[in-house]
Structure 1
Amino acid sequence: MPESSIKLSPLHEIARDLEATFTDVDHWRMPERFAGVEIETTSATTGVVLFDETAKGRIQVEGDASDTVLTSAFTLPNLEVGAGTHHDGTNVVRLRQDLFYLSVPPGAEAETIEKVRAQANGSLVTATDITDGRTAIRVIGPDAPTLMSKVCGLDFSEPSFPDGHARQSSVARTNQLIIRNDLGGNPAYSLVGSRSLGAYLWSVLMEAGAEWDIRPIGRSAHHELEKSTT
Structure 2
Amino acid sequence: MQQCALIDLTALPRIGFRGTHSADYLRVRGFELPEAPNRAVLQADGSQVARLSQTEYLLLGGLADQGQRIADEEVSWELDHNANYLLPRQDSHAWLQLSGACISEVMAKLCGVDLRPEAFPVGAVAQTSAARINVIVINLGPIDLPRFQLLCDRASLAYFKAAVLDAMSEFNGALLEPEALRH
TM-score range, shorter-chain basis? 0.7 to 0.9
How far apart are 1:181 and its partner, in Å? 1.8
1:73/1:116 contact within 8 Å kept: no
Match of 1:173 among 132, 137, 140: 132
* C-alpha distance in structure 1 between counterparts of 2:33 and 2:84, whole Å: 19
Call closer, same or farther: CA 1:101–1:75 in 2, change over 3 Å: closer
The corresponding residue for 2:161 is 202
Call closer, same or farther: CA 1:102–1:75 in 2, change over 3 Å: closer
How far apart are 1:107 and its partner, in Å? 4.7
Quote the sequence identity (%).
Answer: 23
Match of 2:48 among 84, 91, 100: 91
Q: How does 1:30-179 map to 2 (within 5 A)?
A: 43=2, 47-77=3-33, 79-87=35-43, 88-104=45-61, 105-114=66-75, 117=78, 122-179=81-138
Larger Rg: 1
SS at match of 2:161: helix
SS at match of 2:156: helix
Name the amino acid aligned to 1:59. Answer: I
SS at match of 2:83: coil
2:5/2:100 contact within 8 Å kept: yes
How far apart are 1:109 and its partner, in Å? 4.2
How far apart are 1:114 and its partner, in Å? 4.8
SS at match of 2:91: helix
1:73/1:115 contact within 8 Å kept: no
TM-score, normalisation: structure 1 = 0.71
1:151/1:172 contact within 8 Å kept: yes
Mark the runs of 5 or more structure 1 residues left unpaired by the alignment. 1-41, 225-230
Call closer, same or farther: CA 1:147–1:110 in 2, change over 3 Å: closer
Q: Which runs of 4+ in 1 moved over 3 A?
A: 105-110, 114-117
* C-alpha distance in structure 1 between counterparts of 2:28 and 2:75, whole Å: 13
Mark the runs of 5 or more structure 2 residues left unpaired by the alignment. none
Call closer, same or farther: CA 1:162–1:61 in 2, change over 3 Å: same
Q: Deviations over 1:164-220 (max 9, x none)?
A: 221100010010111112269321111111111111111111111211111111223
1:69/1:116 contact within 8 Å kept: no
2:124/2:138 contact within 8 Å kept: yes
How many residue pairs match? The answer is 178
Call closer, same or farther: CA 1:60–1:210 in 2, change over 3 Å: same
* C-alpha distance in structure 2 between counterparts of 1:158 and 1:166, whole Å: 12
* C-alpha distance in structure 1 between counterparts of 2:118 and 2:80, whole Å: 39
Call closer, same or farther: CA 1:56–1:183 in 2, change over 3 Å: farther
